Structure 1
Amino acid sequence: MSLLLRALTAVIALALALPAARAQMLDKVSFGTNWVAEAEHGGFFQAVVDGTYKAYGLDVTIVPGGPNVNNRALLLAGKLDFFMSANTLQSFDAVANNVPVVAIAAMFQKDPQVLLAHPESKVAKLEDLKPLTLFVSKEGVASYFQWLKSEYGFSEDKIKPYTFNAQPFLADRKSAMQGYVTSEPYLVEKQAGFKPTVVLLADYGFNTYSTLIETRRDLTENKPDLVQRFVDGSVTGWYNYLYGDNKAANAMIKKLNPEMTDDLLNYSVLTMKENGIVDSGDSLKDGIGAMTDARMASFFDKMVRAGVVKRDVDFKKAYTLRFVNKGVGLNLRPKN
């Protein structure tokens, strides 16, 4: 074989080997959500389908949660690398119970928690809900309702158990029901044919972060570059999901959750944008995922006053600002 032919053969072999080598260079990462696939998780699916995570050197597998799935336990057991926690209270609880996890980014600047009322109740503000029967879940009573009691004087005497069934609310026009702004108002309108009055608790001072990325503390210490790439990729995914072409991400969500519809997905995305659920407040200057010490301290104080969290909890251990507030993805937000 001539020198030229050998050289050409070597070049061809190298070219063929490069894609495989690049694939092997991707760090495999697993991310567990806390519920079945839905638009509220859309930015993560977006980063998978549009190649964003790969651009950050990651091969990400999303593991959906559900009623019989405990992905947080899998995170603690080392079976998952990252987990999507519901709100800051879970982070405070982790510190209180010496669970070695830490919140590294907050995808939602506002918690989507709402109370829905019938139009006949003529509810115009949060306080107008006080005379109504309130359908609240056990978890809700232990968390946000304690804040409603301490900050606004609500009474537990008005509470009836919420079992994630809208029928009791629909049957009682002098009642209100908990829900998420991104889903329950849509479902009530579809089911009952009327637009409920929607009160978003975040607009009245319930300033927990929501949809946080959580990981084990040892991962932030031993593989900070990996953690940073996952945060940056997720942030970029959320910008692209909200403001770009999200059809492929929605297709992935529908494949994983056949009960999901295009109408609900579109409603959820529009509602997240209209209410600033993902992109508002500090994220406008620091980027999606933003967190601040002041906001964490403010929410902690409210939860202490409400008796939900003990004052001696070192809440600053619940989170780190090391991986956020870097302005990642700000160029992807529409200018107008």
Structure 2
Amino acid sequence: MKSALTALALVAATFAAHAQDKVTFLTSWYAQAEHGGYYQAVATGIYRKAGLDVTIRMGGPQVNLMQVLAAGQADFIMGKDFQVLSGLESGIPSTTVAAVFQKDPQGLMTHADVRSLAELQGKTILVASSGRTSWWPWLQKKYNLKDEQTRPYTFNLQPFFADANTAQQGFPGSEPFTAEQQGHKVHFFLFADDGYPPYGNTIVTMQKTARDRPELVQRFVKATLEGWRSYLANPAPGNELIKKDNPKMDDATLAFGVKQMKAFRFFDGGDAAKMGPGVMTDARWKQTYELMVSNGLLKPNPAWQQAYTLEFVKALKASQ
């Protein structure tokens, strides 16, 4: 009897050692190259080796990521600094635990005659409603632009193609590729390269999760960054899962997205070049907070630093 109980105990211990923590991760949009590291970590077993059973859910235009996170329907989301800071103001206690991209990938696509963002005077600028509460006030103030120059951006590129005096918001891996495919010569200007401070493609969770399950958060952050290193080296495994989730995505678009991410050094540029991927700094977060307050996008909040924690990226650095 004693030996039987011992055997059962050993089986239970073995099972516990190999049990996988179930995690749901919500992306910001339909599956694409900019989500590749997460899919790669699933496809290659990186998450599983970290003891994580990760389910990736796609976001989209009708998905409010912060509400999904607050409702407990996702453990982590692919977030934005503005979202988290605004969420604190509206009573959603989330926090950013790592920055996958050292630069926000938001930018402006122009026709070939425009050589810099300083040359937008007199241009019609297509801005989505989300842009008006994030980058537009910064761009407007920096280059003395007028609200009268703007028109709504409806995620349709035809108005841009039809009018050579038009510029529009976009991301480097999507809109420029579509323009190139249709024979249009364009320039793409990344706001981050002109001083726009927010991070991009951040890992966000609830403050309670970071406080009560730090070991889980640490494993997820570490495995995710390993997934991104792997994806940028050989994106094929992750791309197969991306195309499965989003059948409209094709190999050429994915390849262009990877090319752009490498060119702009989203993952390993900036502070990450010296301090390692995922890194964040107090100084950068302060810049973003002050930008939001100065542009009337956020009320002063003495607890604004709850929007992020350096605990997990510092632990990564210490373990290297």
TM over 0.5, yes or no?
A: yes
The equivalent residue for 1:292 is: 281
Judged with a 3 Å threshold, the aligned counterparts in structure 2 of structure 1 residues 100 and 298 are, in CA distance, closer, same or farther, namely: same
> 1:38 Cα shift?
0.7
Residue 193 of structure 2 is aligned to residue 199 of structure 1: no
Judged with a 3 Å threshold, the aligned counterparts in structure 2 of structure 1 residues 71 and 207 are, in CA distance, closer, same or farther, namely: closer
> 1:23 Cα shift?
8.0
Corresponding letter in the other structure for 2:37 = G
Distance in 1 (alpha carbons) for counterparts of 2:191 and 2:65: 27
Distance in 2 (alpha carbons) for counterparts of 1:76 and 1:247: 33
Judged with a 3 Å threshold, the aligned counterparts in structure 2 of structure 1 residues 21 and 208 are, in CA distance, closer, same or farther, namely: same
CA deviations over 1:2-40 (Å, ceiling 9, x no partner) = xxxx99xx99x999x699826851111111112111111
Distance in 2 (alpha carbons) for counterparts of 1:25 and 1:42: 26
Q: Secondary structure at the match of 1:323?
A: helix
Residue 135 of structure 2 is aligned to residue 144 of structure 1: yes
The equivalent residue for 2:224 is: 234
Distance in 2 (alpha carbons) for counterparts of 1:329 and 1:128: 45
Distance in 1 (alpha carbons) for counterparts of 2:274 and 2:316: 7
Distance in 1 (alpha carbons) for counterparts of 2:306 and 2:9: 48
Distance in 2 (alpha carbons) for counterparts of 1:210 and 1:267: 19
Match of 2:95 among 102, 122, 125: 102
Q: Which structure is larger by alpha-carbon Rg, 1 or 2? A: 1
> 1:313 Cα shift?
5.3
Is the CA contact 1:286–1:327 (under 8 Å) kept in the aligned structure 2? no
CA deviations over 1:147-193 (Å, ceiling 9, x no partner) = 11222211111001100000111110011011001111001111x30
Distance in 1 (alpha carbons) for counterparts of 2:114 and 2:60: 33
Q: Secondary structure at the match of 2:203?
A: strand
Is the CA contact 2:18–2:51 (under 8 Å) kept in the aligned structure 1? no
Residue 267 of structure 2 is aligned to residue 278 of structure 1: yes
> 1:210 Cα shift?
1.2
Residue 212 of structure 2 is aligned to residue 222 of structure 1: yes
The equivalent residue for 1:21 is: 15
Name stretches of at least 5 consecutive residues in structure 2 with no aligned partner: none
Q: Secondary structure at the match of 1:84?
A: strand
The percentage of counterpart residues that share the same residue type is 40
Q: Secondary structure at the match of 2:205?
A: strand
Match of 1:164 among 150, 155, 158: 155
Q: Give matches, 1:322-333, under 5 Å.
A: 322-327=311-316
Aligned-pair RMSD on alpha carbons? 2.5
Distance in 2 (alpha carbons) for counterparts of 1:275 and 1:254: 24
Distance in 2 (alpha carbons) for counterparts of 1:272 and 1:327: 23
Corresponding letter in the other structure for 1:292 = T
Is the CA contact 2:66–2:83 (under 8 Å) kept in the aligned structure 1? no
Match of 2:198 among 208, 212, 215: 208
The equivalent residue for 2:50 is: 56
Q: Secondary structure at the match of 1:211?
A: strand
The equivalent residue for 2:86 is: 93
Match of 2:237 among 248, 256, 263: 248
Corresponding letter in the other structure for 2:36 = G
TM-score of the pair, normalised by structure 1: 0.88
Name stretches of at least 5 consecutive residues in structure 1 with no aligned partner: 1-5, 332-336
The equivalent residue for 2:104 is: 111
> 1:311 Cα shift?
2.7
Judged with a 3 Å threshold, the aligned counterparts in structure 2 of structure 1 residues 184 and 20 are, in CA distance, closer, same or farther, namely: farther
CA deviations over 1:104-151 (Å, ceiling 9, x no partner) = 1111111111111112xx211111012211011111122211011222
The equivalent residue for 1:34 is: 28
Distance in 2 (alpha carbons) for counterparts of 1:19 and 1:45: 30
> 1:41 Cα shift?
0.6
> 1:316 Cα shift?
0.6
Aligned residues: 317
Judged with a 3 Å threshold, the aligned counterparts in structure 2 of structure 1 residues 312 and 75 are, in CA distance, closer, same or farther, namely: closer
Q: Secondary structure at the match of 1:324?
A: helix
Residue 123 of structure 2 is aligned to residue 123 of structure 1: no
TM-score of the pair, normalised by structure 2: 0.92
Q: Which segment drifts farther, 197-206 or 282-291?
A: 282-291
Corresponding letter in the other structure for 2:244 = K
